[in-house]
Each structure stands twice: as structure tokens, then as C-alpha cells.
Amino acid sequence: MSPRPRRSPPARLRSLLLPLLLPLVLAWPAAAHASFLPPEMMDAAAMGIAWFVIVAVPIGGIVLFWMVHVLPEKIAHKRHHPQRDAIHTLCLLSLVFGGLLWPIAWLWAYVKPVGYRAAYGTEKHDDYFYEKSREAHAGELLEHELDHLRDELDAMHAKGTLSADLRQVRRALDTARPAPAPAPSGEAASGGAST
């Protein structure tokens, strides 16, 4: 067996002191910062974040809350729901009651009332007829769309639910001219090839 080589005293001293000194060196307070910014800029950044949280976040939350709560009203308007005004009122009441009535308004916007057509002769809000009347006088409605609109107003008149304004719209529809029917795509292609 060969004798183990002896280490020199400085090497042995280093191997003993290194584990003892390393924690002391790492724990020694040096010029360290807790952030990547200097302390003056850190105060300014903290102040900016605080103002953002105090001012912008509540305003953004209120705007988001409002936008979500008027969504059923917008859906009812888009779908020409006959009870759109009542849905609008329910959305406003939902704001007062902290959103408890909002799911009811949401469902109501998607559901047409049962028996409404039987009672009133239509399932659409009056604004639908005003909008379609403008389109008819601009010549944007086809013949069958114009006939359907007249038939719907006549059904409302037969039920006795036609308001004076809608009677005037119905009389004005008699003078409306339909839009020209689009040419079938087969004739347009063959007509262009034969010339």
C-alpha cells in the first residue's frame, strides 16, 4: 500500500475555512437593491401604480360591469324582441340590485314570449317596422320581403293592435317599389359567354 500524499498546510487550511467563510461572505451586507430600479425611481413607480389602482381599476370595473349589464338589451334590440323596453328596464333594475336580475334579462332577451303573435299579430318590436319601411322606400327590399312586411302589418291591423304610426307606415308601404331581383348566377354566366 502506498502512503497517501500529504496536503500542504495552506491547502488544508483552505479546505477547512472555505465552508466556514462562504456563508459569512454571502451574508455580508453589500450594496444590494431589492429591485432593478434605483430607490428614487422605485418611489415614483410605486406612486404611479398606486394611482392606477385607485383611479383606473375602479373606473374600468364600473365600465365593464355596465357593458355586461346592458348586453341583454343589445341582444333584444338586435333580435327585434317585442318586449325590448321591458328588458331594458330589467337591466337597469339589475344594476340597482347588484346583478341578481341580470340572468333573467339575459334569458328573456333570447326567448320570444309565448302567445305574443296570437295576441298581437307579430313577434317584433315596432322599431323593426320603421326600419323596414325606410329600407322599402330606399328600394332595398325584394318583392317577397315587401309582401311579407305588408302581410305582417295587415295581421296586426286585423287583431286591432296596429298603432296610428304603424297604420301610416302600412299606407306608405303601398307606394314602395321593390328592389330589382338579382339575376340567377347560371344566366349571368351564360349571358356573358354568349356575347
User: Which three cell numbers, joined as nine digits, stand for 69?
Assistant: 349589464
CA angle 107, 159, 171 (to 5 degrees): 105
Pairwise CA distance, residues 66 & 74, whole Å: 12
| pLDDT of the residue at 190 | 55
Contacting residues for 161 by C-beta, under 8 A, at least 6 apart? 119, 120, 121, 122
Write down the domain spans for the chain. Answer: 66-113, 119-173
* Residue located via cell numbers 338586435: 78
| pLDDT of the residue at 15 | 76
**Residue 54 pLDDT > 90, yes or no?**
yes
161 within 8 A of 141, measured Cβ to Cβ? no
* Predicted confidence (pLDDT) per residue in 129-144, tens digit: 888 888 888 888 888 8
Residue that wins the pLDDT comparison between 145 and 4: 145
| pLDDT of the residue at 107 | 94
The CA-to-CA distance between both ends of the chain, in Å, stands at: 111
What band does 57 get if pLDDT is binned at 50, 70 and 90? very high
Q: Which of 82-117 are b and which e, b meaning 16 or more Cβ less than 10 Å from the residue's Cβ? A: bbbeebbebbeebeeeeeebbeebbebbeeeeeeeb
**Mean pLDDT of all residues in 182-186:** 70
Pairwise CA distance, residues 88 & 70, whole Å: 8
What band does 195 get if pLDDT is binned at 50, 70 and 90? very low
**Mean pLDDT of all residues in 95-116:** 88
**Residue 189 pLDDT > 60, yes or no?**
no
Pairwise CA distance, residues 62 & 57, whole Å: 9
Average pLDDT of the chain is: 82
| pLDDT of the residue at 140 | 82
81 within 8 A of 87, measured Cβ to Cβ? yes
Contacts from 107-111 at CB under 8 Å and sequence distance 24+?
Answer: 108/72, 108/76, 108/81, 108/83, 109/72, 109/73, 109/75, 109/76, 109/79, 109/81, 110/75, 110/79
| pLDDT of the residue at 187 | 55
* Predicted confidence (pLDDT) per residue in 156-180, tens digit: 888 887 888 888 888 888 888 877 8
Alpha-carbon Rg for the chain, nearest whole angstrom, is 39
User: Which three cell numbers, joined as nine digits, stand for 23?
Assistant: 456563508
